Amino acid sequence: MDRFRKSIVVLSMFCLVTGQATAGDSDDEEIAPGCTGIATAAFKACRHEIQDDFWIATGNCNNLPDPSARAECNEKAKAAREEAREDCEAQRAARGELCTAIGEAPYAPQINRSMFVNPADIGGSVAPNPYFPLVRGRTWILKSGDETITTTVTRETKRILGVTCAVIQDVVEEDGEVIESTKDWYAQDLQGNVWYFGESTQDFENGELFSIDGSWTAGLDGARAGIVMKAMRTVGDVYRQEFSLANAEDAAEIISLTGSASVPAGSCNGDCLITKDYTPISPGVFEHKYYAPGVGMILEVDPNTGKRVELVEIRN
């Protein structure tokens, strides 16, 4: 057999073993623009990340000198790979459901600084969004079990895509110890919609910073601003609150304009806005949030676990 034919046979055998082809590779396929194309690209990235993680785990397993420990480690790596594959499929399906709700158009909101008000004027010459009032100096304190969440509209601002955003400080404490500290960047437009331009998140463990996962800024790495609270609200509306693919993809659906709820620091009786907040990154996980007019969010409920986050104090 000559060298050329031998090379062809070897290459063909490699393709059969790996399940890959040298031409028409599915990873090189053309992906249509729009929502479903986004979901497909994220799914492919997810599958590749699984393979990377699996082979790194396999390498670490094979570095174990004990044969039984090595075998056990490799089995765990395979099990983790299968579980991760199921998660990728579930995320793909969840993104597909979101596409059905919001449409196939690429998500590209037009941002112009002339659309937005000065954060310093909100609560003065500019009426705040009644369900998300960005009034400087206002603080909401919420509790859930041993956790305390303190959210404050600071006097700081941050300029993103030419828009002056209000900086909101969000601190989560557990038994008095800070476990998360986040700066969120919001801006209210002339119609009263409140836009979300990103966040800087820090997670702590035993007083040490261990993660900044979930941080994003509109305009960087494909991230785009979303609407966290609409000015005009209609039951059934579904909208993106943020967009940083595979990192921050929160969405919300308005499920009621006539809800009722009562917590230590507020209540609403037939005039509560209720949303379903979720993300395709965590399929099946969602919360119902209750917003009282003039106050903001007073209650968050996880229907799957029954966990409640309740507003216990407001400081102006």
Q: What is the pLDDT of residue 12?
A: 39
Confidence grade of residue 316 (pLDDT, cut at 50, 70, 90): confident
The pTM is what? 0.88
Residue 4 scores a pLDDT above 90: no
| Phi (first) and psi of residue 118, to 5 degrees | -75, 125
Average pLDDT of 197-220? 95
CA dihedral 201, 207, 208, 209 (to 10 degrees): 0
Query: CB-based burial of residue 221 (10 Å sphere; 0-12 exposed, 13-18 middle, 19+ buried)?
Result: exposed
| Rounded Cα–Cα distance for residues 253 and 258 (Å) | 15
pLDDT at 5: 42
- Cβ neighbours, 10 Å, residue 204: 16
Lowest mean pLDDT among 20-24, 65-69, 80-84: 20-24
CATH level 3 topology of 113-315? YmcC-like fold (2.40.360)
